[in-house]
């Protein structure tokens, strides 16, 4: 869809500043530590990990530091370039590979590095960007890249959340921008649309100047729908959480963990 190219390729510099914000970097490090502990408890400590939609590497670089061999795939040339630069700076180039490619062609993009012990779709990425059939194809390709007994983790936001916040706006300040996110949900298409408006603060700290707009369009899933989708692709649900490792409650974050069926 055009919005993916608009947001992650043509608008990459704006979003990269957000991903590079100290808060976001720290969040990536904290999540990496939690995931590393979970994977180790499931016998995947130090294994090979594929992160689909890896961005600038804020999750994979900390995982590499924790002993994992990691491969990141992203559609954004800017993100991949920045991820590679960060890997050099952080001293983990021997443990990370960042690949420019489209997740819809995952088998050909990441196949040379397979098989993987764990495959990650983290921070509401890829799954839901396109349509049901595309999501099914991506998850089937993921299954073909996985080792027996591997783990698939999908970190997203469930459909109940988007229904709940439809018509509302959320304000954040990251990367030097004030960002207003306006949420809408269309029952007919079962898609959520999030309009981002970026503002820069004036020198007095109070004046706001709009500098850009961007829009995301996501096909969100309930836990049941996501389980059905993954099952059709050869994965079975083993656990679901709202965040690591809080019991899942509908209406917010959804961290679903699957194994090959």
> What are the pLDDT digits (tens) for 119-136?
999 999 999 999 999 999
Task: Flag whether pLDDT at 204 surpasses 90.
Answer: no
Tens digits of residue pLDDT in 135-155: 999 999 999 999 999 999 999
- What is the token pair recorded at 222? 């309930």
Find the mean pLDDT for residues 206-221: 94
Residue 53 has pLDDT above 80, yes or no: yes
Rounded to an integer, what distance in angstroms lies between the CA atom of residue 111 and that of residue 142? 10
Residue 229, helix vs strand vs coil: helix
32 and 77 share one domain: yes
Give me the pLDDT at residue 202, please. Answer: 86
Are residues 123 and 58 part of one domain? yes
The CATH number of whichever domain residue 90 belongs to comes to 3.40.50.150
One domain, residues 75 and 146: yes
The answer to whether residues 108 and 211 belong to one domain is no
If asked whether residues 136 and 202 sit together in one domain, one would say no
Same domain for 148 and 166, yes or no, is no
- pLDDT class for 222, splitting at 50, 70, 90? very high
253 contacts 164 by C-beta, under 8 angstroms = no
| Residue 45 predicted with pLDDT over 80 | yes
HSE-CB at 176 with a 13 A cutoff on CA atoms is 10
* pLDDT attached to residue 1: 61
Predicted pLDDT of residue 77: 97
Q: What is the maximum alpha-carbon separation in the chain?
A: 58
Query: Residue 196's domain spans which residues?
Result: 160-218
- Total domains in the fold of the chain: 2
Residue 39: per-residue pLDDT: 96
pLDDT band with cut points at 50, 70 and 90 for residue 206: confident
Could you read off the pLDDT of 63-116 as tens digits, one per residue? 999 999 999 999 999 999 999 999 999 999 999 999 999 999 999 999 999 999
Q: Do 164 and 186 fall within a single domain?
A: yes
Same domain? For 14 and 124 the reply is yes
* Angle, alpha carbons 95-101-107 (nearest 5°): 85
Considering the chain, what percentage of its residues have pLDDT values greater than 90?
A: 95
Whether residues 141 and 179 fall in one domain? no
Regarding whether 108 and 80 lie in a shared domain, the answer is yes
Nearest Cα to 50, choosing from 132, 144, 176? 144
Alpha carbon of residue 261 to chain centroid: 23
Look at the pTM and tell me if it is higher than 0.85: yes
């Amino acid at each position: 869809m055009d919005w993916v190219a608009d947001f992650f390729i043509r608008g990459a510099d704006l979003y990269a500043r957000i991903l590079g914000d100290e808060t976001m970097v720290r969040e990536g490090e904290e999540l990496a530590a939690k995931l590393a502990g979970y994977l180790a408890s499931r016998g995947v400590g130090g294994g090979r990990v594929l992160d689909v939609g890896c961005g600038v590497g804020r999750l994979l670089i900390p995982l590499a530091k924790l002993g994992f061999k990691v491969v990141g795939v992203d559609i954004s040339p800017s993100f991949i370039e920045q991820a590679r630069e960060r890997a050099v700076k952080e001293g983990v180039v021997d443990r990370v590979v960042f690949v420019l490619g489209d997740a819809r062609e995952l088998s050909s993009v990441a196949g040379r590095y397979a098989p993987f012990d764990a495959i990650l779709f983290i921070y509401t990425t890829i799954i839901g960007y396109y349509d049901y059939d595309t999501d099914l194809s991506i998850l089937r390709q993921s299954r073909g890249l996985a080792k027996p007994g591997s783990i698939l983790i999908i970190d997203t936001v469930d459909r109940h959340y988007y229904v709940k916040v439809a018509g509302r706006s959320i304000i954040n300040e990251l990367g030097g921008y004030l960002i207003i996110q306006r949420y809408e949900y269309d029952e007919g298409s079962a898609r959520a649309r999030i309009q981002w408006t970026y503002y820069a603060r004036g020198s007095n700290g109070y004046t706001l100047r709009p500098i850009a707009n961007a829009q995301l369009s996501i096909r969100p899933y309930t836990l049941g729908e996501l389980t059905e989708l993954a099952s059709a692709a050869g994965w079975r649900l083993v656990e679901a959480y709202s965040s690591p490792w809080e019991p899942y409650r509908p209406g917010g974050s959804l961290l679903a963990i699957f194994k090959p069926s």
